[in-house]
Chain A
Amino acid sequence: MLWLLVGIIIGGGAIWLIAKTRIVWYQYVLGILGVALLLFTLQNYLGFLAEMEGHAAGFSLLIMGLPGLVLALLAVVLPRLLNQRKSNNAD
């Protein structure tokens, strides 16, 4: 059930993003990689907790979750930064 909800949220988010913004190719690459890594982190985090391995759960957040978050954020932030740079150059 958890994974169905996660899938619906991700899918819904993707529909909203595509509908509301113009997405360039590298956003797809960064976004898909970031979301995949975050999903992998979530599964492992919950898995380690089920194994009663709290330290390993935290470790998984650090080594997989953080890079995943950075990639996902880059997908959102990078076009804005590039646009800002373009407008600065134009000025």
Chain B
Amino acid sequence: MPENLTRRQFIKALGLTGAGVTLASAAPALAAVSGDTRPGDVPYRYWWVKNVDQPTTEIDWAQMKRYSEWRTTRGSLKEYRGAEKDASYLNLQKENLLKFETEQRPGYTTKDFALKEAVGSGRPPFLFMGPQTASTPEERGVPRYEGSPEENARIVRVALRHMGAGTVGFVHLEPETTRKLVYDQEPSPGKKSNVFENIDIGYEDDQKRVIPEKAKYAIVFSVQMSQETMRYGPTQLGSLTTTLTYTRMWLILTQLHEFLRSMGYQSFGTSAVNGLGIYPAFAVLAGLGEMSRLNRVITPEYGPNARFTVLLTDLPLAPTKPIDFGVMRFCRDCKTCAEFCPSGALSMDRDPSWEVKGPWNNPGHKAYFEDSVKCRNYWNTCGTNCGICFAVCPYAANDEASLHNIVKGTIATTPLLNSLLVSADRQAFPATMGEPMKDPESWWRNENLAECGIDSRAGGRNI
């Protein structure tokens, strides 16, 4: 054995030291981002997210008609399951919630109820054209903001990120295609018509909401939901994930209205929950995600744990392209959400279908349509909005561990390993039918939680 280092050995060892340091430092960087923004991109995406010209969900625009939000189970559940059954389910929900809180069942304790009530408070009112309290450039005595569609897109994106939005994309409304995604009528009880007219200034009266034809730019953005609290569904603790996200989303939406107004432009948004249009469809077309077996959007950044909303404006905005990162192919092999759905509402078919499951689905696209009434019946049974399908989805993972991105990159590249990856996911993140994935009481013992339960740098962003 050598007693002293020779020069050759020293250089060799130095190389190994360097390699060691590099390798060790590189480990977190395996989750690196794809680089600079390309035209039509949602920026700062992982390398495995590809822009495509057509979304991975097939759409037959000729078959698609404008839909009304009140026809979903949010607005017509009583009609779909019958008045007697509806009353019985509502009564069951009331009884169960009282029983669970009285028993102080984990996830349904008084503190869980209280937190859910709290995070649902403080929401600004929904207004079709926003509060209209911000000063306009005209009022300030300056010309309105002017920029190219690309610059405008960047500015809106930066502003939205600062307000708390996740990813941001843009869609142009065309009468024969994308404009059909704006609801014909707003939700119950108002059921006002959403009308497009060739006018200069939009308005609202007792019967309708009138959007100028020139407000053809749809701003579509996601708001990240807490990955962590979603794991505790179906409980009040799991349920407050969406409650808090809606509170944040409505505040952001209101601020966006005011931002556009203060730049000198009009904006038109929802006047009720999910009211303006079919947000998942907009999200897919804007490149924020792909449809999935959940019949909801899965995003590269947050998996299924995101909520979406849309605002229409006359500020010209460059559109973003749809994306393909392998979700629709992966869902053919992965039925985790459907297998763990306590109500059996999700499709177990291998392939998506053009056939809808009921009037709560809008025909004209090929999807994994769900039995929404079964889903709602279970909501009444467990007393909350369940969320198990979101919790067990293999994409429902934060990206601290670099393995997630290697897996997602593999799925985006080849479907050959899908079954293996599904099995591994079920071993690493075990779930039990109808039960939360984690003990809700353990969440209350953690005093070092992320703000709002989210990682605002999730998704490979360097900001």
A24 at the interface (CB under 8 A from B): no
Q: Are B228 and A52 within 8 A (Cβ)?
A: yes
- Whether A42 and B16, one on each chain, are in contact in the complex, defined by CB atoms closer than 8 angstroms, is no
Q: Determine whether B54 belongs to the interface, using a CB cutoff of 8 Å to chain A.
A: no
Cβ–Cβ < 8 Å partners of B17 in chain A:
7-8, 10-12, 14-15
Closest to B25 in A: A3
B372 on the interface (CB 8 Å rule)? Answer: no
Q: How far is the CB of B330 from chain A (nearest CB, A)?
A: 19
**In the assembly, what is the distance between CA of A44 and CA of B403, in Å?**
7
Decide if A55 touches B28 in the complex (CB within 8 Å).
no
Given contacts A18-B13, A48-B401, contact A43 B429 (CB under 8 A): no
B28:A3 contact, CB within 8 angstroms: yes
A42 touches B27 (CB 8 A): yes
Q: Chain A: which residue is nearest B28 at the CB level?
A: A43
Contact (A14, B401) CB under 8 Å given A3-B27, A43-B28: no
Q: CA–CA, A40 to B446, complex, Å?
A: 27
Question: Provided the pairs A8-B21, A18-B16 are in contact, do residues A40 and B402 lie with their beta carbons within 8 angstroms?
Answer: yes
Whether the pair A14, B16 counts as a contact (CB closer than 8 A) is: yes
B417 to A: closest C-beta gap in Å: 15
Bound-state CA distance A22–B3 (Å) is 11
With A14-B13, A14-B17, A52-B228 as contacts: A43 and B401 at CB distance below 8 Å = yes
> Does the CB pair A15–B13 fall under 8 Å?
yes
Q: CA–CA, A81 to B14, complex, Å?
A: 28
Q: How large is the interface on A (under 10, 10 to 19, 20 to 34, 35 or more residues)?
A: 35 or more
Residue from B1, B9, B21, B397 in contact with A4 in the complex, judged by beta carbons closer than 8 Å: B21
Contact call A51/B22, Cβ cutoff below 8 A: no
Contact B24 A7 (CB under 8 A): yes
Chain A interface, >50% SS class:
helix
Q: Is the interface of B mostly helix, strand, loop or mixed?
A: helix
Number of A-B contacts (CB under 8 A): 105
B349 close to A (CB within 8 Å): no
Task: A21 to B25: give the CA distance in the assembly, Å.
Answer: 27
Any A CB within 8 A of the CB of B194: no
* Residue B377 interfacial (CB < 8 Å): no
| Residues of A1-59 whose CB lies within 8 A of B | 3-4, 6-8, 10-12, 14-15, 18-22, 32, 35-36, 39-40, 42-44, 46-48, 50-53, 55-56, 59
Q: How far is the CA of A53 from the CA of B400 in the complex (A)?
A: 11
Is the Cβ of A7 less than 8 Å from the Cβ of B400? no
Partner of B21, one of A11, A36, A48, A50: A11
Of B2, B9, B400, chain A has the most CB atoms within 10 Å of the CB of B400
Contacting A at CB under 8 A, from B419-458, are 424, 427-430, 446
Do A18 and B428 form a contact, CB below 8 Å, given A36-B23, A42-B27, A50-B400? no
A residues less than 8 Å from B23 (CB atoms): 7, 10, 35-36, 39
**List of B residues within 8 angstroms of A20 by Cβ:** 1-2
Given contacts A48-B400, A52-B228, contact A11 B427 (CB under 8 A): no
| Contact yes or no, A19 B20, CB < 8 A | no
The residue that B430 contacts in the complex, of A10, A43, A46, A55, with Cβ under 8 A, is A55
**Residues of B contacting A11 in the complex (Cβ-Cβ under 8 angstroms):** 13, 16-18, 20-21
**CB-based contact A19/B13 at 8 Å:** yes
Question: What does the 1/0 interface line of A51-70 toward B look like (CB < 8 Å)?
Answer: 11101100110010000000
- A-side residues, CB < 8 A to B, are 3-4, 6-8, 10-12, 14-15, 18-22, 32, 35-36, 39-40, 42-44, 46-48, 50-53, 55-56, 59-60, 63
6 inter-chain pairs at a CB distance below 8 angstroms, sorted by A residue, are A11-B16, A14-B20, A18-B16, A43-B28, A43-B402, A52-B228
